[in-house]
Amino acid sequence: MATGTLTIDLDAIRGNWRALAGMARAETAAVVKADAYGLGLGQVAPALAAEGARSFFVAVAEEGAELRQILGPGPAIHVFSGHMAGDTRLIAENGLVPMINSIDQMIRHVEALPGHPFGLQLDSGMNRLGMEPGEWSAVREIALTQAPVLAMSHLACADEPDHDMNARQLAAFAEMTAGLEIPRCLANTGGVLLGPDYHFEMTRPGIGLYGGLPYVDARPVVALDLPVIQCRNLAAGETVGYGCDFTADRPMRLATVSAGYADGVIRAMGPRTDLFAGETRCPMRGRISMDLIVADISALEEDPDSLELLGRHQSIDTLADNAGTIGYEILTALGDRYVRRYRGG
Amino acid sequence: MATGTLTIDLDAIRGNWRALAGMARAETAAVVKADAYGLGLGQVAPALAAEGARSFFVAVAEEGAELRQILGPGPAIHVFSGHMAGDTRLIAENGLVPMINSIDQMIRHVEALPGHPFGLQLDSGMNRLGMEPGEWSAVREIALTQAPVLAMSHLACADEPDHDMNARQLAAFAEMTAGLEIPRCLANTGGVLLGPDYHFEMTRPGIGLYGGLPYVDARPVVALDLPVIQCRNLAAGETVGYGCDFTADRPMRLATVSAGYADGVIRAMGPRTDLFAGETRCPMRGRISMDLIVADISALEEDPDSLELLGRHQSIDTLADNAGTIGYEILTALGDRYVRRYRGG
């Protein structure tokens, strides 16, 4: 078998949700968009529901429909992209709650599904999704005669507690939602950590559930082991991989493992990333290719059967640093060829 | 509907294969590993078979088994990772041809499946997969009494025609395979373009089939359209997206489209990449987020329903340049949330 093994710890996800829920008096929802950040909606969502989550957020109506099949009736499923043209049937049949982003979406929703619950997505300054203050003023009266069940906005800089954008968005959101008698939701994981002012009636952690920053105390969720295909000796002066990018300055022993950027091992992490055999670092040598990575196993006494990319010694955020990105992208890039093993649940 | 539409032109893939096949007198195989470079093994492989491809290459035995289900009996399916522990049943039941990489694999194969066809993967200098000259000498006599059907190696620098590594690998491969009476295969797409010396009895293009460099004359294969969720005005001084990275220096109009790095729009391409409305460039503003991208549509007279990321105006290699990677990774990163439409076939 030349496919890697991705182990996903559902108990850790449950523990992270419980810990984040314990930080707020508000209801704690769960963001499970993008296939639960790449970790498997079909396994992650039921685990979170079993832990007590009753409200979920997805990006698009298609994900909401899939989640409804997984969870059955009961839990609230909110759709960040709102009510798009062509979404009406998915929203109606699956009891989804579109987060209405614009006057156009409001009109579409109220005309197509009068009385069907919806949420209000308000822009408090990120300028990405949601109604601006002016738009919101224009439709507020009409909107409140319909069936809004939640008012939300999104923080642009919650990962940086000292950024003054946080307080500005908080003030804008408070002002836009003043007098509303429906639950309000502003805090992503970073927002939960910013403290009670940001919690309102509902929080909606995402990345923190999956073990990523900015939740530094998160339990790690993923481990990734890659099988070794073959080992070889390299003489000083020999080169490795595409473009002959790496030249050995001394004799070394190499292992070629079966995984590459087609599996989400982002190519840019190559020169700075290690694989691990137990406690021993095995630095990558040469470029990551589509299906293969070469690592320096000179420090090992025996040739390994597999090497670890993610686990106790290396987190998603370390890989993200190496690749010049964020832990979120490491997770969502994880490929389809891995055998996925779930622990707990 | 807030999911993007990925259009894959199977006729272009067939045309690229035919053109590459026309450059060599050798048999032309097709590399379809990693789900046909992310474009869909179930659609791409039958299209290539219909065009005349009789030999295919995949990375791992699991992919080979899937391909056999798709193609049925007949075509040769070669597995680059060879015969790994645990692969015997997949190889036997699906009539796969493992490309044996080491003496260990040779012993495993001959003991488990005596008489079952295999290929020889020889290392001509890339130091990634394949038997080194010394190893090969040691097993050559025994190997030739078994059932080798192909001898192959892989070029490290075929994308750079002037790199002296090409001639060195060619010489090493010719020397290692001298006197063999089985077909030899060295050339990937770049190798095909290097000319007849590199073609031997079989070539095996991959990226060129899918419209990527180094095959500059390839027909483009993919187009990607992303739906607009909402449009908004931005005042001078306002910021966009996570980290408030972009600040408007003048009033502008923005569109938020539904796609992000979870869909394989690699986060690193953000600051340098445009979306297109017809002929008009709409530069990305602010960071790419997991499910959303914001673009500047100030130059448009009307708000668009969708914007194009890949197509006539922007190729996989342009996106790759923007992201600091190669077109191959743009393809293999393409996400699962897109609606995939196939043309021709």
Q: Indicate if B137 and B73 belong to the same structural domain.
A: yes
Nearest by CB to B292, from A102, A129, A240: name it: A129
Which positions 126-185 of A are in contact with B (Cβ < 8 Å)?
A: 126-129, 132, 156-157, 159-160, 163, 165
The answer to whether B82 contacts A229, with C-beta atoms less than 8 Å apart, is yes
Looking at the complex, does the CB of residue B326 fall below 8 Å from at least one CB of chain A? yes
Task: Report pLDDT for A247.
Answer: 98
Nearest by CB to A329, from B61, B128, B261: name it: B261
Q: Indicate if B104 and B229 belong to the same structural domain.
A: no
Structural domain includes residue B111: yes
Looking at the complex, does the CB of residue A197 fall below 8 Å from at least one CB of chain B? no
Structural domain includes residue B1: no
Task: Report pLDDT for B271.
Answer: 83
Q: Indicate if A233 and A141 belong to the same structural domain.
A: no
Question: Given pLDDT bands bounded at 50, 70 and 90, which one contains residue A118?
Answer: very high
Structural domain includes residue A2: no
Average pLDDT over residues B35-53: 98
Q: Indicate if A103 and A195 belong to the same structural domain.
A: yes
Average pLDDT over residues B28-44: 98
Q: Indicate if B145 and B239 belong to the same structural domain.
A: no
Q: Indicate if A191 and A280 belong to the same structural domain.
A: no
CATH number, domain containing residue A50? 3.20.20.10
Question: Given pLDDT bands bounded at 50, 70 and 90, which one contains residue A228?
Answer: very high
Quick one: closest CA in A to B91, which residue? Answer: A1
Average pLDDT over residues B194-222: 98
- Count of C-beta atoms within a 10 Å radius of residue B283: 17
Q: Mind spelling out the 3-state secondary structure of chain A?
A: CCCCEEEEEHHHHHHHHHHHHCCCCCEECEECHHHHHCCCHHHHHHHHHHHCCCEEEECCHHHHHHHHHHHCCCCEEEECCCCCCCCHHHHHHCCEEEEECCHHHHHHHHHHCCCCCEEEEECCCCCCCCECHHHHHHHHHHHHHCCEEEEECCCCCCCCCCCHHHHHHHHHHHHHHCCCCCCEEEECHHHHHHCHHHCCCEECCCHHHHCCCCCCCCCCCEEEEEEEEEEEEECCCCEECHHHCEECCCCEEEEEEECCHHHCCCHHHHHHCEEEECCEEEEECCCCCCCEEEEECCCCCCCCCEEEEEECCECHHHHHHHHCCCHHHHHHHCCCCCEEEEECC
Q: What percent of chain A shows pLDDT beyond 90?
A: 98
Average pLDDT over residues A248-269: 98
pTM confidence score: 0.97
Average pLDDT over residues A324-345: 97
Whether B152 shows a pLDDT value over 90: the answer reads yes
Whether A344 shows a pLDDT value over 90: the answer reads yes
Task: Report pLDDT for B345.
Answer: 82
Q: Indicate if A151 and A234 belong to the same structural domain.
A: no
The total domain count for chain A is 2
- What are B176-186's pLDDT values in tens digits? 999 999 999 99
Q: Which among A184, A210, A236 is the end of a domain?
A: A210
Structural domain includes residue B236: yes
Structural domain includes residue B5: no
Whether A271 shows a pLDDT value over 90: the answer reads no
Containing structural domain, residue A253: 222-343
- What are B131-151's pLDDT values in tens digits? 999 999 999 998 999 989 999
The answer to whether A33 contacts B262, with C-beta atoms less than 8 Å apart, is yes
Average pLDDT over residues A174-202: 97
Structural domain includes residue A272: yes
Q: Which residue has the tokens 């030249």?
A: A247
Q: Indicate if B49 and B80 belong to the same structural domain.
A: yes
Quick one: closest CA in A to B231, which residue? Answer: A102
The answer to whether B291 contacts A256, with C-beta atoms less than 8 Å apart, is no
CA distance B344 to A93: 34
Q: Indicate if A203 and A234 belong to the same structural domain.
A: no
Helix (H, G, I), strand (E, B) or coil at B87: coil
**Amino acid at position A10, single letter:** L
Looking at the complex, does the CB of residue B258 fall below 8 Å from at least one CB of chain A? yes
Q: Indicate if B47 and B182 belong to the same structural domain.
A: yes
- What are B47-76's pLDDT values in tens digits? 999 999 999 999 999 999 999 999 999 999
Task: Report pLDDT for B1.
Answer: 81
Mean pLDDT of chain B: 97
Please state the ipTM of this predicted complex.
Answer: 0.97
Q: Indicate if B230 and B199 belong to the same structural domain.
A: no
Among the listed residues A343, A337, A339, A332, the one whose alpha carbon sits nearest the alpha carbon of residue A32? A332
CATH number, domain containing residue A282? 2.40.37.10
Structural domain includes residue A3: no
Q: Which among B151, B181, B210 is the end of a domain?
A: B210
**Catalytic center residues of B:** 33, 242
- What are B120-130's pLDDT values in tens digits? 999 999 999 99
Mean pLDDT of chain A: 97
Chain B interface, best mutation among A32, A57, A88, A127, by max B CB count within 10 A: A127
Q: Indicate if B193 and B230 belong to the same structural domain.
A: no
Q: What percent of chain A shows pLDDT beyond 70?
A: 100
Structural domain includes residue B104: yes
Task: Report pLDDT for A2.
Answer: 85
